[in-house]
Chain A
Amino acid sequence: MEKGKNFVIGVYDEETVLMSAVEEIRSKGVKIHEVYTPYPVHGLDNALGYSYSNLPIAAFLFGICGTITALTMMIWMLGFDWPMDIGGKPHIPLPAFIPITFELTVLFCALGMTGTFFVASNLNPWSTPNMFDPRTTDDKFVIAFDLASTKQDSAQLKSILSETGASEVTTKSLEN
């Protein structure tokens, strides 16, 4: 996806250094392409100015779909398509429909939201990961600048990274 593009990357060793670096770089008005971390860093999304994910809204909508599916299914099947007399009870006993309605709400919500997450984040077995440094899945943090979309040149970006505490600074292009 990002083939052939050139990036300037800085490797950071500590979470706290990374956080202050992100804040400092953003205050200078330099556009960060993305930050790569081995684990979720608390507050990093705010520091990068990302808005809170809309996935919970998707989850809610999928959940509603589950509720509607379950109720429609049971009411239509037992109330209209083939009403059965079970111990003289009503054909559409809503309280008895609560358990299955709840279960299908949860099922649709969980599957729908996770599916949306995979699609939105391009997570699938055939995509190519943007790995700037394999150590970002171990214990290092990487800030990447896309040279095509920043005003600064490579040398300026490298000095910004070193000033903010990066332990290694390099230029990389994603080949794989």
Chain B
Amino acid sequence: MQVTSSVRPPLVTNGKSKHDVTNDICKQVEGAPSTAWKISFAMALITLFYGGYCLWTTWYEGIGMWGLNKTIGWSWDITNFVWWVGIGHAGTLISAVLLLFRQKWRTSINRAAEAMTIFAVICAATFIIAHMGRPWVGHWVLPFPNNNGSLWQNFNSALMWDVFAISTYFTVSLVFWYVGLIPDFATIRERATGVRRKIYGALSMNWDGSAKTWSRYEAVSLVLAGVSTPLVLSVHTIVSMDFATSLIPGWHTTIFPPYFVAGAIFSGFAMVLTLMLVIRVVFGLEDYITINHIESMNKIIVLTGSVVGIAYITEFFIAWYSGVPYEKYAFINRAFGPYWWAYASMMTCNVISPQMFWFKKVRTSIAWTFGLSIIVNIGMWFERFVIICTSLHRDYIPSSWAMFSPTLYDVGDYLFTFGLFFTCFLLFAKYFPVVNMAEVKTIIDSSSEKK
């Protein structure tokens, strides 16, 4: 029995029934990998191995392999770290915040977005561990009894806050994602035989879908969404404090937490769109990830893109209004100094280009959305590069002013994370249900288009 709303456009098109949902999503998991998948996977693996070589060399030889110098001590590494963490935020926003706001359109995109979150956080962590220089003593950031005293960590440091924020964020996102996957693994289990049935049976925790379990499941989802919402805001707030609690002009600003959070959501949604636009075509999910979904995400992009734009302007105003000569210089140097091209790229990609989404034609065009989503991601990478590098490269003594040029190993380590991300994502897309079947079924009666 289907009811079609006259007010809202349908969320699932082409008259799909609940059984069609099961078939369409399980088909991807059950069939043999397609040629397109195999080629993409091979490319991801090649990138992973090349990047792995560069990362290994960085670990073996030390971070002198990077283009850092005594003036610019943070550059591509931290830029890439913040970029990846930011991308991760959209997954939690879609699954947690939109759940609290009862936005039904999130149901067909939350699974893949959460997967993106988890893989992006792993990529981000790669840079932190590499930047330690001695990754084999990476566990020294954790407070455990040791025979150096015991000497403890400095919990007043924003970098220590980051250790706790990122590891909590990763763990909670993983738990949230896994809890959501359990009912869908049970669906795959019931259709599978032999070894596959055993594997998916174990993954499904032998879920049987009883009303009592569903009732608890919903309570768990709601509380997880409730705690994930402040968590996701806290994570990028704390990442921004890595900069804001320092005394470097251009970093030492109170606007950083909200500005970083808006930027994270902005870049994350752009990445979700890039991935979704490919997935929906490759896996034939056009009826589940509709133009309506794409438009909703584009609206969030135009909102957060504008918030980011206002933050850029506010920073400039405050630099002037503060009357601090160093602060003023940092900003004039950012826009008109030797890195003007990075600043101009950031402004064009992040502030001007998303304004195109005010036009419905652009918002609902797949080609425009795909192009703009990539431009936004490039722009957000430049934003972090501008903040980090331009604030550092001209410090208080002009004799130590320097420029940064990346080495092959800077590029290689960045490529490593792309290889890692796409390898994980492709494995996920092939072996896990890419759309949350159970949640999509809940909206079929109310929001599926009649045939």
Please, which residues of chain B bring their CB within 8 A of the CB of A139?
17-19, 21-22, 441
Q: Is the CB of B149 within 8 A of A82?
A: yes
Beyond A38-B209, A45-B215, A117-B220, list 20 extra A-B contacts (CB 8 Å). A36-B209, A40-B214, A40-B215, A50-B211, A50-B212, A52-B219, A55-B223, A81-B152, A86-B154, A89-B156, A100-B155, A100-B160, A103-B234, A110-B171, A110-B175, A117-B179, A122-B206, A125-B206, A137-B187, A138-B18
Q: Which residue of A lies closest to B221 (CB)?
A: A40
Q: Is B210 an interface residue (CB 8 A)?
A: yes
Interface of chain A residues 86 through 136 with chain B (CB within 8 A): 86, 89, 93, 96-97, 99-100, 102-104, 106-107, 109-111, 113-114, 117-118, 120-131, 134-136
Q: Is B348 an interface residue (CB 8 A)?
A: no
Please, which residues of chain A bring their CB within 8 A of the CB of B21?
139
Give 17 pairs: A residue, B residue, CB < 8 Å, sorted on A: A14-B1, A16-B1, A38-B187, A38-B438, A39-B441, A40-B217, A42-B442, A44-B211, A44-B215, A45-B211, A52-B215, A53-B216, A78-B152, A96-B156, A99-B238, A124-B205, A131-B190
Give Cα A118–Cα B206 distance, bound, in whole angstroms.
Answer: 11
List 4 tightest A-B contacts by C-beta distance, closest first. Answer: A139-B18, A123-B205, A125-B202, A45-B215
Q: Is the CB of B190 within 8 A of A99?
A: no
Please, which residues of chain A bring their CB within 8 A of the CB of B218?
40
A-B contacts, CB under 8 A, total: 195
Q: Which of A36, A40, A78, A102 has a CB less than 8 Å from the CB of B208? A: A36
Q: Is B51 an interface residue (CB 8 A)?
A: no
Please, which residues of chain B bring their CB within 8 A of the CB of A37?
209, 211, 214
B residues adjacent to A (C-beta < 8 A): 1, 17-19, 21-22, 143, 149-156, 160-161, 164-165, 168, 171-172, 175-176, 179, 182-183, 186-187, 189-191, 201-220, 222-224, 227-228, 230-231, 234, 238, 241, 438-439, 441-442, 445
Q: Is A41 an interface residue (CB 8 A)?
A: yes
Q: Is the CB of B168 within 8 A of A127?
A: no
Give Cα A38–Cα B184 distance, bound, in whole angstroms.
Answer: 9
Q: Is A74 an interface residue (CB 8 A)?
A: yes
Please, which residues of chain A bring their CB within 8 A of the CB of B439?
39
Q: A36-B208, A38-B209 are in contact. Are A103 and B168 (CB under 8 A)?
A: yes
Please, which residues of chain B bring their CB within 8 A of the CB of A114?
175, 179, 220, 224
Most chain B CB neighbours (cut-off 10 Å) among A63, A110, A118: A110
Q: A55-B219, A82-B150, A97-B155 are in contact. Are A77 and B171 (CB under 8 A)?
A: no
Most chain A CB neighbours (cut-off 10 Å) among B21, B223, B230, B439: B223
Q: Is the CB of B211 within 8 A of A35?
A: yes
Please, which residues of chain B bring their CB within 8 A of the CB of A104?
164, 168
Give Cα A39–Cα B443 distance, bound, in whole angstroms.
Answer: 10
Please, which residues of chain A bring their CB within 8 A of the CB of B215?
40, 44-45, 50, 52-53
Q: Is the CB of A77 within 8 A of B220?
A: no
A residues adjacent to B (C-beta < 8 A): 14-16, 34-42, 44-45, 48, 50, 52-53, 55-56, 59, 63, 73-74, 77-78, 81-82, 84, 86, 89, 93, 96-97, 99-100, 102-104, 106-107, 109-111, 113-114, 117-118, 120-131, 134-139
Please, which residues of chain B bring their CB within 8 A of the CB of A63?
227
Q: Which of A16, A81, A111, A137 has a CB less than 8 Å from the CB of B186? A: A137
Please, which residues of chain B bring their CB within 8 A of the CB of A127?
205-206
Q: How far is the CB of A104 from chain B (nearest CB, A)?
A: 7
Please, which residues of chain A bring their CB within 8 A of the CB of B165?
99, 103
